[in-house]
Amino acid sequence: MSTATLAEPVVSLTPSAAEQVKSMLANETDSAGKRLRVYVEKGGCSGMQYGMVFDEQRDGDVADEFHGVGVLVDAVSAQVLHGCVIDFKDELTGGGFKISNPNAKQSCGCGKSFEA
């Protein structure tokens, strides 16, 4: 049984983030049937960095869906990402995907890396 059945999802998407992901999926023919995988890895200026890629579900993944977009998180990343909200801003300066992580002790100025 997946931990996505908990009251609070591991990662959630805002409507604007979901629309952007749908648009990206529609433009990539090799991503048909795949979901958005959100993960963390070592790197960046604060020790850990976020990553997102289109992928297929694997054993142990936490799976959820927001506004018609399937989201996958591996079990290790789920521990650090629990409660994260992913938003998308379509702005010339400071636009793109933004991840709000309640578990980050500190984030760098670029918003792409953090300290857990």
Output helix, strand, coil percentages for the chain, rounded to the nearest 5.
20, 40, 40
Q: Which of 81, 25, 74 is nearest to 49 (CA)?
A: 81
- Whole-model pTM above 0.85? no
Residue 35, exposed/middle/buried by CB under 10 A (0-12, 13-18, 19+)?
A: buried
Domain ranges of the chain: 8-104
**CATH number assigned to the domain with residue range 8-104, chosen from the 4 options 2.60.300.12, 3.90.1200.10, 2.30.30.100, 2.170.150.70:** 2.60.300.12
First to last CA, the chain: 27
Can you give the pLDDT of all 116 residues of the chain as single tens digits?
A: 444 444 578 999 999 999 999 999 888 888 878 999 999 988 766 678 889 999 999 999 999 999 999 999 999 999 889 999 999 998 877 788 988 888 877 565 545 544 45
Torsions phi, psi of 36, nearest 5?
-80, 120
Please check whether residue 52 is in contact with residue 37, taking contact to mean a CB–CB distance below 8 angstroms: yes
